Amino acid sequence: MTNELEELPLHTIYRRIDELAARNLIFYQAELAELGPQQKVYDEEDRLEKDFAIQNCQRNWNTFEAAAEIEESQGALGRENKKTKLALKIWDKLEKYYAALVAHQLLLNNQAPSRSTLTAMRNWFFNNTSGVPGGEKTAQLWGVSKTIFDDPHDLVALRVPAD
């Protein structure tokens, strides 16, 4: 199937899968919404802290990281270690969330396939080489996958850049 697609560059139509993409973004938002208040608790505790060593951890990343590593090496899940783990989790989720946002926006900005390209793709997909409406309907993929080109609003046409 892939070799045939390589020979037909106009047939670069794929599903955006908008429903799952939106759900993915919502899950990232929900998780970040839970992590934010946890960070605020640490921030408030840090603001009220009078101990110089802990204050120094707030103001110097290297000191903060070293304190967390010491706690980790001692097998303790101390405060600085917990804060480090939370910070790393937030960084990781934000990176994935922003990447998903950018990727989804990029797909939304792409054009939908033209009617003729979509028809050609559907004819190929259903082995309707004659192009006759209602021709042979044996899909390249079976099961639920045979419906991947049904919703034209959930499709994106990827184009080869002009020379």
Query: How confident is the model over 74-89, as pLDDT tens digits?
Result: 887 788 889 999 999 9
Q: Is the pLDDT of residue 5 over 70?
A: no
Task: Check residue 9 and give its pLDDT.
Answer: 52
Q: Would you say residue 146 lies in a domain?
A: yes
Q: Which residues contact 85 (CB under 8 A, 6 or more apart)?
A: none
Q: Would you say residue 53 lies in a domain?
A: yes
Q: Would you say residue 79 lies in a domain?
A: yes
Q: Is the pLDDT of residue 4 over 80?
A: no
Contact 148, 16 (CB under 8 A): no
Residue numbers of the domain that contains 147 = 2-157
Confidence of residue 128 (pLDDT cuts 50, 70, 90): low
The CA distance from 94 to 61, in Å, is 20
Q: Would you say residue 80 lies in a domain?
A: yes
The count of domains in the chain is 1
> Looking at this protein, which amino acid is placed at residue 160?
V
Contact 152, 113 (CB under 8 A): yes
* pTM value surpassing 0.75: no
Q: Would you say residue 163 lies in a domain?
A: no
Q: Which residues contact 139 (CB under 8 A, 6 or more apart)?
A: 125, 126, 127, 145, 146
